[in-house]
Amino acid sequence: MRPMGTRVADGVEAFLAHLAVERGSSANTLRSYTTDLDRYAAHLQRRGIDDLAMVAESDVSDFVVALRSGEAPLAASSAARALAAVRGLHRFAARDGLVPVDVARAVAPPALPRRLPKALTIDQLEQLLAGCVSDGPTGLRDRALLELLYSTGARISEAVGLDLDDLDTDSRTVLLRGKGGKQRIVPVGRPALAAVDAYLVRARPDLVAKGRGTPALLLNARGARLSRQSAWHALRTAADAAGLDPRAISPHTLRHCFATHLMAGGADVRVVQELLGHASVTTTQIYTHVTVDALREVYATAHPRALGTGRTGGPGTANLTGR
């Protein structure tokens, strides 16, 4: 006997209305969900399914497979987005009693390719910092900003959120306020402290005089707290002045450099986790992959049998044949 439920088209329409009215979703979100759910409805129609109550978990999982293996296969990220729309539809239908169960709940999205963070080499980093050549107030501020980002691994929001009292020059530490209001104390290197001191003595008094007074450490040209957008612009300007591609460098690049260079220098992953403010060590462990990749490159160029040449001897190698 055919189970009674809700037509797929009606369920989709009700779900989109819920997103627009109750959730206040943006026009872009609604367009994306409409496209993905239209594709899903067509998939169900090809299977002779026009009622949400007739959908099984296998129908949802097969939809994901079809997205990834059709004539114009979608990228894993696009397929995952489409599945998110489908799961939202079934969750909504089950919650509102349109169907008895949420059949999409256990369907997992396709695995996304791991994107390893891109870090500058130490030479490139020195080149970037050298891009802050101006001795004016904003130039000194930008040098202090970049030095702090690299020295502490701070997120850009944490750096621009610093107040004067957060920096302890005696203990050479800084108090960072991270996600969820969590705080952590991180050491600050001497070059960063020197850059901050130059900014505080020679630049900040001029900048703060243009505003109404603020405890913020880093100020803009109007004497107010530096914004994330202005900090981003400062980094891009320094990259351009240093001859680096500004499109390939973001404030998060310096955070990646901080972690990658620490790991390459032998720092324990748990220590790097604490310094970065990661809640889980699994988030930090991506930097161990970066280090392993670097070691693999060295191995490939230095080891006589790394490339499978089959050589048993050569300059600087011992003869182990017994002859």
Which helix (DSSP H) or strand (DSSP E) does residue 33 occupy? helix 27-46
Q: Which residue has the tokens 């070691």?
A: 295
Query: Of the residues 7, 18, 184, 252, which is catalytic?
Result: 252
Query: Of the residues 143, 255, 256, 261, which is catalytic?
Result: 255
Lay out the sheet containing 183-187: strands in order across: 167-168, 173-177, 183-187
Q: Judge whether 155 counts as a catalytic residue.
A: yes
Tokens of 178: 């991270």
Q: Judge whether 255 counts as a catalytic residue.
A: yes
Query: Of the residues 87, 155, 256, 261, which is catalytic?
Result: 155
Q: Judge whether 252 counts as a catalytic residue.
A: yes
Q: Judge whether 236 counts as a catalytic residue.
A: no
Cα separation of 145 and 153, whole Å? 12
In the chain, the DSSP E strands lie at 167-168, 173-177, 183-187
Using CA atoms of 156, 179, 262, 113 in order, give the dihedral in degrees to the nearest 10. Answer: -90
177 φ/ψ angles, rounded to the nearest 5 degrees: -105, 110
For residue 132, the 8-state DSSP code is -
Query: Of the residues 23, 105, 179, 182, which is catalytic?
Result: 179
Find the helix packing angle between 8-21 and 76-95, rounded to 10°. Answer: 90
Q: Which residues, at least 6 apart from 271, have a Cβ–Cβ distance to it below 8 Å?
A: 262
Q: Judge whether 118 counts as a catalytic residue.
A: no
Active site residues: 155, 179, 252, 255, 278, 287
